[in-house]
Amino acid sequence: MKRFLENFPRESVLIMVCRSYIKYLNSIDSTNRYVRDEAWQLRKEADEADIVAVVAKNQTAGRGQRGNVWSSEDGKNLLLSILVLPHDLYVREQFLLSQVISLAVLHAMRHFGIDAEIKWPNDIYVGRRKLAGILVELDCMSEFVDKAVIGVGLNVNQASFPVMDREPVSMKMLSGYEYLLAEVLGKLVESFEYYYDMLLQGKKDTIAAEYKARLKGFSAPMLYSDGNSVFEAVIKDVEPCGRICLEHASGEVCHYSFKEVELLL
């Protein structure tokens, strides 16, 4: 086990027991942007550690899915980007990375007594409220993933959020407890290592099966919108590429890519 810590707040250091290289930044525009641009420098710093994690206390231009902004109160939440170079992962299998990080977040949350679920493709929800968002950004070399930046915004200690359509929630709002960010980070990175190792060992079917088992609406009727209509359907499967297979009330099974359909909560 090897551990590298740079500028990490002193009270956190003792808790860190995972094998990854973790770099702490006080403030940055976006940890995903930083990790993507500085990947080769970070790899050098990380020495033989195969997982690099960059965590920031604050982001000034956090990136969300669909070009949205990810906002977070300074010092309240976990803003993390993980860099991996998974060598023999085909681009067509990239969704496994979303499954790995989603399962890692759920696993870490269970450690803190929080029972979360995945909202397809990779949002982390408790009931109808979003606890964490995930943004996976890839660089590919022909048919293989060359470099993957896996961004996680996990709401930890923020006590309230601006009014939005769908209200976010934090770990503190769910439990009433204030968490040590470094402890949450340690558990999340450790959980990621566990599931990423499963991927490296080729246990893709196990990952996919566990992902489906933790997916909201798997084998249960829920309401969806495809932009034109709202309909009830059941998730029958999620393809390795990430497409969702929904069985409509008529019995017809339709396949949807990300952005083509949304689960309504």
Residues interacting with ligand BTN, by CB under 6 A? 30-32, 59, 62-65, 68, 70, 79-81, 123, 133-135, 151-153
Distance CA 123, CA 171 (A): 15
Strand partners, 78: 154
DSSP state letter for 170: -
Q: Which residue has the tokens 């790899």?
A: 43
Considering beta carbons, is residue 134 or 174 the nearer one to ligand BTN?
134
Distance CA 36, CA 86 (A): 15
Contact present, 76 and 220 (Cβ < 8 Å): no
- What is the closest distance, in whole angstroms, from the C-beta atom of residue 205 to ligand BTN in the complex? 27
CA quadruple 132, 133, 138, 143: dihedral, nearest 10: 90
- What is the closest distance, in whole angstroms, from the C-beta atom of residue 54 to ligand BTN in the complex? 9
E-only strand ranges, the chain: 4-6, 21-28, 52-59, 78-84, 117-119, 123-126, 129-141, 144-154, 222-225, 230-238, 244-248, 253-256, 262-263
Considering beta carbons, is residue 136 or 174 the nearer one to ligand BTN?
136
Considering beta carbons, is residue 35 or 246 the nearer one to ligand BTN?
35
- What is the closest distance, in whole angstroms, from the C-beta atom of residue 70 to ligand BTN in the complex? 4
Structure tokens at 97: 């990375």
Beta-carbon count within 10 A of 101 CB: 27
Considering beta carbons, is residue 12 or 59 the nearer one to ligand BTN?
59
Query: Which residue, judged by CB position, is nearest to ligand BTN in the bound state?
Result: 133
The helix/strand/coil state of 141 is strand
- What is the closest distance, in whole angstroms, from the C-beta atom of residue 143 to ligand BTN in the complex? 26
- What is the closest distance, in whole angstroms, from the C-beta atom of residue 112 to ligand BTN in the complex? 19
Phi, psi angles (nearest 5°) of residue 38 = -105, 15
Considering beta carbons, is residue 150 or 233 the nearer one to ligand BTN?
150
- What is the closest distance, in whole angstroms, from the C-beta atom of residue 210 to ligand BTN in the complex? 21
Considering beta carbons, is residue 25 or 180 the nearer one to ligand BTN?
25
Considering beta carbons, is residue 65 or 209 the nearer one to ligand BTN?
65
- What is the closest distance, in whole angstroms, from the C-beta atom of residue 88 to ligand BTN in the complex? 26
